[in-house]
Chain A
Amino acid sequence: MIPRPRPERFRLRRTMMFMNAQKPGLIKDAYIYGCDSIMLDLEDAVAENQKDAARFSLYHALKTIDYGDTEVIVRINGLDTPHWQEDIRVCVAGGADGIRIAKCESAQDVKTVEAAVEAAEEEFGVEKGRTLLMAALESPKGILNAYEICSASERLFGVAISGGDFRKCMQTSFQPDGVDMLAARGQMLLAARAAGVQCFDTVFTDLDNEEGFRAEVLQNKAMGFDGKSLINPKQIRLVHQVFAPTRKEVLQAEKIVRAYQEQSAAGVGVFTVDGKMIDIAFIPGAERTLRLAKACGMYEGDLVK
């Protein structure tokens, strides 16, 4: 049995890689590729008549495999299926770090899952509030209700858009410039930022189209996403490259945080760095840059953990 530390609600989640929870050869060491989170899938990847088998596999994988620092999220079946309650029981009993709610359309959906999670934590003697949630928005209704979803639970760390289903609802298809989902991505980002949670983009499924993938990841970064769902380990490297801060950004952030620590110790609230006015509002951003830099191996100092 591998005890896992209490999950952190806000941590680095640049890459969240989907893995079929039913395939023993895949889930045994998906963490070696260095993604930030792995997403063990009980939903679409698992055939309807293997949902039960997948839960047994998942339970023992969670209990046996040392995933180290990699976050372990489980995508459960939708609330309109007969599977989601047992899915939640096995996630909580197995000690998954978080649950991804598929096809989430309202704050009520989050609350329904939250109640079941709480009951499971009670049943299995798991610390209350340990199991985190994230919501996948897959329909126009989900996008329109993004803000209430993002604000629905203290457990919820973020929202993700799921492109496949969403494009179908919108009667569109993948467009290289992202115009098919531009409004939805924007709206979801607004809601997530307003509610103070993270926001993740959908998978890019055409593995051979490296140029298209790069373009999408660059757009994700430019729009302000925290990370992206992936379907193949070979996608990890590019996302980490694109999401890494530049050397200049790291140096600047280091200066700001160091100056802030010195100045605030001396009781000064507003000061200048390289001729620019800096106050406390700059600090969370600078610290986030340093944490990201640390994860990318670009910063080794101790200004952030």
Chain B
Amino acid sequence: MINAVGREIPDALLTDGKEVYQGKNYMDGRYIQKASPRTRRYEKPQESKVVESIRAALEQCGAKSGMTFSFHHHLRDGDYVVNQVMAVAIEDMGLEDLTIAASSLGNAHDPIADYIEQGKVVGIQTSGIRGRMGEVVSAGKLKTPAIIRSHGGRPRAIEAGEVHIDIAFVAAPTSDCMGNCRGIGGKSNCGSMGYAMTDAKYADHVVVVTDCLVDFPNMPASVEAIDVDAVVVVDSIGNPKKIASAAARISQNPRDLMMAENVARVIAATPWFKDGFSFQTGVGGPSLAANLFLEQYMDERGIKMGWAIGGICGPMVELLKKGKVGKVIDVQDFDLDAVNSINQTPNHFEMSASQYANPANKGAFVNKLDFVVLAALEIDTGFNVNVLTGSDGVLRGAPGGHPDTAAGSKVCIIVTPLTRGRMATVCEHVVTVTTPGDCVDVLVTDYGIAVNPLRPDLIACLDEAGIPHVTIESLKEKAYSLVGRPDDLEWEDKVVAVLEARDGTILDVVRKIRPFTLSED
């Protein structure tokens, strides 16, 4: 069936009430029955939940073949926990047919690609998929299609019981002996633990993995002991250098700065840019640099930002400390400045992924957002954005909070160079639709600005402010005139990944790529 963004979704996927994407806010007002986990009572007073090894924890939780294990990605490219747990489960205990349901997976998880190739890991549910894992899944080696969800779509699916987590693993920079966890105070600090919170509430079993056991009670806890079955102490949960960078620096790249300046101009030209406005930005070069120019406009107009959300890094913390933003609410931290600030700097708070972005709850932050500034791997003339597949068709990205913030915000600005090397970022059809075009309002490139025709109000704002803009078609033509028109990718029928919209409908599928080789030409 063809969905609302023009993608053919195989009927075989439309079972158990699964629907194709129908447009923004299609599920609004519906009732859902939340799932509940089957959990064990620990009535008898306990001195400690610390067990001697990951294997002991797995055994205590009744780990067996066919189960779904969940993980969160606050340790980012420094994470050791996914690989440690899966090695014990598969190599030591001989478990098979396992599914990994992670908030995201990245380059740290290359070893999992081997388990996929061996057929031991048969399912992957994640926001991000990169590195070798992206390659083997793209090559069709995973037994079932990977399921890709946004950061809001994931807690939605967990709460709705579409993902049933048998054992959730919480990578905890600090924990006490009962499993009260925090993201700070240890040797591998990550700050916010927002993505782990829903898992801990909805999983049948929860295992805390930490490398820093602290005195009971470890308060205020991000994940609470009331949800935890066992605590394992390991030598190291991750490489601190790769968990949080020293400090996210604002790009000095002149192209990024030029685009960032235009992003700020656009924001300042809209009626929502007034005292108390709300804002989220990505950490990519031009998105982050937008902070800098936005601050100049705020100073000029004598206004302050009311609140900011998202993955947080130093420049936003800096604004908070200068009193230029009222509150920062944080689901993940990207650098040490942010890690060291959360729950320490007044008005810097932690939130769960559900609170951040879940469209099926009663008040996600993204739905009150004024502005979001986001990057893109590709954007097409229908303003559909791809942040998942490279333009060669291989999985190497993550929707993250992109679709959630785009849909919820009043103004969603995509900022990207027109081309990257020989790849046209602005193109006719994105390889995969990860954020539907009806959620995207403005495109800022190094060759000009385009406004979605669905937003005549914004077109009027830009005209009023004297900000030149062009059609997205003309940007696409310019891109092709620079790099040449790409050949169409060639696909096999096999679906290797299913991309869910934030409301749980199917937005797109990724098929197995047929690589081009010289001999076939």
Contact = CB atoms under 8 A, between A and B. Distances in A.
Interface of A: 25, 28-29, 32-33, 66, 232-234
19 contacts: A25-B421, A28-B482, A29-B446, A29-B447, A29-B482, A32-B255, A32-B258, A32-B446, A32-B447, A33-B254, A33-B258, A66-B481, A232-B254, A233-B254, A233-B255, A233-B258, A234-B252, A234-B254, A234-B257
Interface string B254-288: 11011000000000000000000000000000000
A232 B373 CA distance: 26
Contacts of A232: 254
Contacts of A234: 252, 254, 257
Contacts of A32: 255, 258, 446-447
Contacts, number: 19
A29 B446 CA distance: 10
B177 to A, nearest CB: 51
A29 B257 CA distance: 16
Contacts of B447: 29, 32
Contacts of B258: 32-33, 233
Nearest to B254: A233
B266 to A, nearest CB: 18
A232 B252 CA distance: 11
A22 to B, nearest CB: 17
A232 B258 CA distance: 12
Interface residues of B, number: 10
Nearest to B481: A66
Interface string B476-519: 00000110000000000000000000000000000000000000
Interface string B224-261: 00000000000000000000000000001011011000
A209 to B, nearest CB: 14
Contacts of B255: 32, 233
B420 to A, nearest CB: 10
Contacts of B481: 66
Which 4 A-B residue pairs are closest in the complex by CB-CB distance? A233-B254, A234-B254, A32-B446, A234-B257
A190 to B, nearest CB: 35
B354 to A, nearest CB: 42
Contacts of B252: 234
A66 B481 CA distance: 10
A247 B257 CA distance: 28
Given A29-B447, A233-B255, 17 more contacts: A25-B421, A28-B482, A29-B446, A29-B482, A32-B255, A32-B258, A32-B446, A32-B447, A33-B254, A33-B258, A66-B481, A232-B254, A233-B254, A233-B258, A234-B252, A234-B254, A234-B257
B275 to A, nearest CB: 28
Nearest to A65: B482
Nearest to A236: B254
Contacts of A233: 254-255, 258
A234 B254 CA distance: 6
Contacts of B446: 29, 32
Nearest to A64: B482
Interface string B419-458: 0010000000000000000000000001100000000000
B254 to A, nearest CB: 4
A28 B482 CA distance: 9
A232 B255 CA distance: 11
A85 to B, nearest CB: 32
Contacts of B254: 33, 232-234
Interface string B94-113: 00000000000000000000
A25 B258 CA distance: 17
B154 to A, nearest CB: 37
Nearest to B447: A32
Nearest to B261: A237
A234 B257 CA distance: 8
Contacts of B482: 28-29
A6 to B, nearest CB: 24
A25 B254 CA distance: 13
Best-buried of A25, A29, A232, A234 by chain B (most CB within 10 Å)? A29
A29 B254 CA distance: 12
Contacts of A25: 421
A63 B482 CA distance: 13
Contacts of A33: 254, 258
A98 to B, nearest CB: 24
B467 to A, nearest CB: 12
Nearest to A235: B254
B478 to A, nearest CB: 10
A108 B7 CA distance: 69
Nearest to A232: B254
Best-buried of B252, B254, B481 by chain A (most CB within 10 Å)? B254
Interface string B369-392: 000000000000000000000000
A300 to B, nearest CB: 12
